[in-house]
Amino acid sequence: MLALAMGSAGAADLAAQPPAPLVAVGRHGIAYDFGHQPTVTSVAAGDSRLVFVAEPLGQAVAVLDRYTGQQLGTLPAPPAGWLLPFSLRVPREGHVVVLDSGGFPSPTVPSIARVYDYDVQYDERSHQLTATLTRTVSFEGLPLVFAEDVEVTSSGLYVVSESIIGALWVIGLDGTISYGAFPVTGVPIPALAPCEFLPTTVGGIPFATAGNFGPGVVGLAERGGQLYFSTTCNGGVSRIPMASLTDATRDPQARAADIVPVSPRAAGVAAETLHGLAFNPAKPGEHWLYAVDSLQLRVVRINTDNGSRQVVVGPDPVLFNFPSKLQFLPPVGGRSPLLVASDQEHRLPSINAAITEDLTQPPWLVTRIHLFP
């Protein structure tokens, strides 16, 4: 009887407990669910204490505890409000850079991208989150249709990728915007431009874009004065020296001649988008560039010396439910985990033209990866 009573109580306690953590083990890392967000998430990045999560459709930037994944609050909106917070970086402790794309591309309502800089503090005793908007950079009046990503470079310059025209923009230390690589002649730059996207299947779900449009340059990551970028149109990863993007002796179209492939899309692969890129800040001399392989539902790393690739973790349709972007957290206690946000865009009929009903699976996960030595 005692054993039976204990068994019943144990079952009740078990039923009241949260579900067991999701775990996936790969050859080069172990992944588990870290954050559970109620709406679409596009990117997560953080510092030694906080994690910031962009929620574009929820028009919010959530703030999570780095160690528990619990939400502590939200980043206060800028005076104009959030329109489509799409990407972000945390270049140093307590400093957050948010790219608000200004809305999805529309033929009637122009989307004006803005880049916001915030200084953020969190008081452990009062549990109060305070944030100060220190700079706003607006692309109003400039030929930018949709901004996909922002990178804060080692020199302090920011780079913004534009995926509809196919361009790279540079934000100077003083906040001025300049053309980095841009088709000033009207002739698209092949390495950056959009093209036709071949329909494919993602996790068993047919996937196609409206008009079979394959976006141009999307993901960005910089190391050692080299800007690495990915495109959905071409797949793979290429790079260009930052010195080329700021070369005043050449026009922005001519600068693109310095783009070289790093790891091209493999022969026989019809479609590929390595939508997010990141280097490990804890290993500044490392040649591995980490990337989300969105269509294959996995995380890979690319040898920037020879272009070879390795699968880190995946495929996993739950932990990497169309992974969109990834960023490393700064090292604490010698550990620098990788955060991966998944936006489930293959399950959204507003993005996936091959489906007619919403197939999303709430919540939207932020996955944490600990790399093996």
Q: Reduce the DSSP state of residue 344 to 3 states and report it.
A: coil
Q: Would you state the pLDDT for residue 106? A: 72
> Six-digit token pair at 57?
């459709």
Average pLDDT, the chain: 93
**How far is the C-alpha of 205 from the C-alpha of 153, rounded, in Å?**
37
Query: CA-CA distances (angstroms) from residue 196 to 66, 169, 199, 211?
Result: 40, 23, 9, 8
Q: Would you state the pLDDT for residue 107? A: 64
Q: Please give the CATH architecture assigned to the domain spanning 32-371.
A: 6 Propeller (2.120)
Model confidence at 12, pLDDT cuts 50, 70, 90, reads very low
pTM (2 decimals)? 0.93
pLDDT digits (tens, 9 = 90+) for 46-82: 999 999 999 999 999 999 999 999 999 999 999 999 9
Give the residue-averaged pLDDT of 97-103: 97
Question: Among the residues of the chain, which ranges form H helices?
Answer: 2-16, 242-245, 252-255
Q: Is residue 5 over pLDDT 50? A: no
Give the residue-averaged pLDDT of 30-43: 97
What residue ranges do the domains of the chain occupy? 32-371
Q: Is 11 exposed, middle or buried (0-12, 13-18, 19+ CB in 10 A)?
A: exposed
